[in-house]
């Protein structure tokens, strides 16, 4: 990887630039700084020896690029090149790019594995986006930004597409485009009519306001232009990750000739019955409870002095970084794409540019942040598309999160003593995600939209909800008993007696229907031929147990223990792990609970246990490899599992990322060592492995002789068999578990398990796909483990086989 060296007269400036670059590359860039001098009274300056040391620190075969701020920084760097070995100096390039923007662009390119020449090009063109945004480029600059410069000897490639996504190119498709295009060494833009946006800027794409039916053109020029165009074309064919939504929309459009631009306006009843308010249906159900009014507050800007441009920007960078970490945790969940899009909004390079401009005028960080985000929210609010206008709430949510991080002011917490129907002007996604379903029976908003992220989360949580119920905050007071009818889109505040009784009966019928479904989910899954198939749940912690049981889980096929380790400054103790394992195993009685040992690595770092970055973490120290390389970390978890097994004999241990028999034997030896140290007599803890790398499939016969069970992890198995990153949309057609090679690997694994007389289950995404159920049963799969919400449908699919 190309190394990056930042040479500055100011240590604070260099640290700030390095921090920003580190955040943008998620720590993947190899950066060193040489800044300031060791003189407390006069710290501003540069030191050739420090520059030499920084170059030597990050230099490898790919070379180094150096970015400098002022004149003498160049002189110090040139002197450093004279001091180092000639063969090393040949690998160093000094750049005339701006130190902030140039470092950002160079770091992203270097982290992507581009050559030194490509990194140099990225750094030297780093100001193009800012010039375009500010309109400060000369005519030639504008031609270059639009990829029309005749003097360039590189061709401009293009691709046309008519957008069929029901909501156009909104936040999630735009996020997918940005991720894909950022990988390529090419200048790539998206055009809609005479409007143009950088294909590597989320907010720029969003500002185009691309709607369903719009024609767009992607144009690219540079060394990897063809790859960028091909990747975009592949994404477009998949409708930017929304193929299922497009298919469904097309089906309904065949029967309904309704414009999608402002579809919400057609969903509100023209007249509400007397005693009720009409809104837009979001989530079905009926709730009867007192009303509670929820008010969202933005932390106030503190009254303080401006502490200098570099310090104010450093505060902003820290706050944004903290929020990005919070969002990354939220993005792990089932509807994490919403918060993933929020994180990508924060990573947009336009935001720090705008902040720098405001802070340079002497504004403190908090006021600068609100100013920039207010402008961005206003741009979304003024969009042509109803769907894009609803993204204003996402911007406000992000703005509030960062303001909380800046000020520490979380505002008054809502304390609910009894179940309520929650009324508000609008709710932000983070508000909805934090709702207590035992206390919030329904949600009614005077604003919002059916396609807002808050509405999506409310539906996912099963909370009856309405939006755009105009007048609800004026008509209803806190404490008034109301009835929300999510089926009809009505909020009743003064129903007549007959209407009220009808709504009470309707609620009871709704609850009865839910209980009937739950009862059926609890029944065993038996095929027509009379074969009983085990259906288990994948869980991530104690909070998932209740839902898993309600959905009919017959145990746990995958208990991800990473939640105990991630987002913590201190590793969990043996006793803490022991308590959690016992708690979950006890909740399932005698049903099996499969605990997967710690599955982290370079792509999933631990704050409490720092590990060096890896160029290719998916092929590095992950899963069992990392655990065996760090036996102290592993031994603590094994001890906790062994102790828990003594109390809960339904526990079994599963090892991830196994490739060889030797790895299994090393785990078993360490397990036996810990058992003896604990002086435990019982050594019968079942030990199994995940089959998720091709080597495990090819070694399946030998591995089956060493373990008690197999569990196929189709997510990783598919990407490793097909050599296709499952997060890379450019190769999405390869990341398909129905590929013949993947199906062959699954069949071979099942055959090896049956031959050895051990059980074989599946815990990957394919296990919950009902279109695959009969095929998997036919090739010998005996157990299925999937997300809890998928279990009722999975059981029903098995019963039809």
What positions carry a catalytic annotation? 453, 763
Q: Write out the DSSP string of 446-514.
A: SS--TTSHHHHHHHHHT--EEE--TTHHHH--TT-EEEEETTTTEEESS--HHHHHHHHHHHHHHHHHH
Separation CA 420–CA 435 (nearest Å): 11
In 272-417, alpha helices (H): 309-330, 336-346, 350-359, 365-381, 386-389, 392-407
Q: Taking a C-beta distance cutoff of 8 angstroms, is the pair 764, 737 a contact?
A: yes
- CA–CA distances in Å: residue 306 to residues 311, 322, 363, 364, 370: 9, 22, 7, 5, 16
Separation CA 104–CA 119 (nearest Å): 11
Q: Taking a C-beta distance cutoff of 8 angstroms, is the pair 97, 36 a contact?
A: no
Token look-up 């509807």 returns 335
Separation CA 302–CA 365 (nearest Å): 10
Q: What angle do CA 254, 257, 261 make, to 5 degrees?
A: 115
Q: Taking a C-beta distance cutoff of 8 angstroms, is the pair 588, 651 a contact?
A: no
Q: Could you tell me which of 623, 604, 614 has the C-alpha nearest to residue 563?
A: 604
Q: In what order do the strands lie in the sheet with 481-485?
A: 276-278, 490-492, 481-485, 286-294, 420-424, 440-445, 465-467, 280-283
**Beta pairing, strands 195-198 & 187-192:** antiparallel
**Helix, strand, coil share (%) of the chain residues, nearest 5:** 50, 15, 35
Separation CA 625–CA 628 (nearest Å): 5
- Beta strand segments in 527-586, E: 532-539, 556-560
């Amino acid at each position: 990887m190309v190394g990056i060296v930042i040479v500055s007269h100011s240590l604070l400036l260099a640290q700030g630039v390095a921090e920003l670059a580190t955040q943008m590359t998620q720590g993947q860039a190899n950066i060193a700084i040489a800044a300031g001098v060791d003189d407390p009274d006069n710290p501003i300056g540069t030191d050739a020896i420090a520059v030499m040391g920084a170059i030597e620190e990050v230099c490898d075969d790919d070379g180094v690029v150096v970015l400098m701020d002022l004149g003498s920084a160049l002189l110090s760097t040139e002197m450093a090149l004279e001091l180092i070995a000639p063969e090393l100096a040949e690998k160093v390039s000094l750049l005339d790019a701006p130190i902030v923007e140039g470092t950002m662009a160079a770091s992203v390119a270097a982290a992507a594995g581009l050559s030194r020449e490509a990194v140099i090009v990225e750094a030297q063109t780093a100001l193009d986006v800012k010039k375009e945004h500010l309109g400060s480029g000369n005519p030639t600059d504008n031609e270059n930004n639009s990829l029309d410069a005749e003097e360039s000897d590189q061709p401009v490639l293009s691709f046309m597409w008519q957008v069929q996504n029901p909501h156009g190119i909104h936040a999630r498709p735009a996020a997918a485009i940005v991720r894909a295009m950022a990988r390529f060494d090419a200048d790539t833009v998206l055009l809609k009519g005479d409007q143009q946006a950088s294909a590597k800027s989320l907010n720029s794409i969003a500002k185009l306001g691309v709607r369903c039916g719009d024609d767009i053109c992607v144009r690219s020029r540079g060394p990897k232009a063809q790859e960028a165009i091909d990747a975009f074309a592949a994404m477009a064919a998949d409708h930017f990750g929304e193929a299922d939504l497009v298919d469904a929309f097309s089906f309904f459009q065949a029967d309904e000739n309704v414009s999608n631009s402002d579809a919400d306006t057609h969903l509100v009843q023209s007249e509400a019955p007397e005693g009720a308010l009409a809104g837009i249906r979001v989530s079905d159900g009926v709730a009867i409870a007192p009303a509670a009014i929820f008010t969202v507050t933005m932390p106030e800007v503190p009254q303080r002095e401006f502490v200098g441009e570099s310090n104010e920007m450093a505060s902003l960078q820290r706050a944004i970084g903290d929020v990005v970490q919070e969002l990354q945790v939220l993005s792990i969940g089932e509807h994490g794409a919403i918060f993933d899009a929020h994180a990508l909004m924060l990573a947009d390079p336009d935001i720090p540019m705008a902040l720098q401009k405001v802070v340079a005028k002497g504004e403190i960080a908090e006021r600068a942040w609100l100013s920039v985000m207010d402008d961005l929210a206003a741009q979304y609010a003024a969009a042509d598309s109803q769907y894009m206008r609803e993204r204003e709430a996402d911007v406000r949510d992000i703005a509030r999160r960062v303001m909380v991080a800046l000020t520490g002011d979380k505002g008054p917490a809502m304390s609910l003593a009894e179940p309520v129907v929650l009324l508000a002007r609008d709710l932000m996604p983070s508000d909805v995600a934090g709702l207590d379903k035992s206390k919030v029976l329904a949600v009614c908003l005077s604003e919002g939209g059916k396609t807002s992220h808050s509405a999506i989360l409310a539906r996912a949580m099963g909370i009856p909800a309405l939006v755009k119920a105009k007048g609800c905050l004026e008509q209803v007071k806190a404490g008034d008993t109301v009835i929300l009818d999510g089926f009809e889109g009505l909020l009743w505040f003064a129903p007549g007696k007959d209407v009220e009784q009808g709504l009470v009966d309707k609620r009871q019928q709704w609850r009865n229907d839910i209980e009937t479904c739950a009862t059926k989910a609890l029944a065993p899954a038996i095929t027509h031929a009379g074969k009983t198939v085990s259906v288990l749940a994948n869980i991530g912690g104690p909070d998932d147990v209740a839902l898993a049981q309600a959905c009919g889980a017959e145990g746990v096929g995958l208990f991800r223990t990473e939640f105990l380790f991630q987002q913590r400054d201190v590793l969990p103790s043996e006793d803490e792990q022991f308590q959690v394992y016992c708690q979950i195993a006890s909740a399932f009685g005698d049903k099996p609970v499969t605990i997967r040992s710690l599955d982290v690595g370079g792509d999933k770092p631990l704050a409490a246990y720092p590990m060096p970055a890896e160029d290719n973490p998916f092929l590095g120290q992950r899963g069992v490899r990392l655990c065996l390389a760090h036996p102290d970390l592993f031994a603590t978890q094994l001890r906790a599992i062994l102790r828990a097994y003594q109390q809960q004999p339904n526990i079994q241990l599963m090892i991830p990322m196994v490739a060889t028999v030797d790895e299994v034997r090393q785990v078993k030896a360490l397990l036996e060592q810990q058992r003896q140290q604990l002086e435990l007599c019982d050594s019968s803890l079942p030990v199994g492995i995940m089959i998720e790398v091709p080597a495990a499939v090819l070694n399946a016969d030998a591995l089956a002789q060493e373990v008690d069970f197999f569990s196929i992890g189709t997510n990783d198995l598919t990407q490793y068999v097909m050599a296709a990153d499952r997060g890379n949309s450019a190769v999405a057609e390869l990341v398909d578990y129905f590929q013949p090679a993947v199906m062959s690997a699954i069949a071979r694994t099942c055959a090896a398990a049956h031959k050895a007389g051990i059980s074989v289950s599946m815990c990957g995404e394919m296990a919950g796909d009902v279109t695959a159920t009969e095929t998997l049963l036919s090739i010998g799969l005996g157990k299925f483990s999937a997300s809890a919400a998928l279990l009722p449908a999975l059981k029903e699919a098995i019963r039809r086989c």
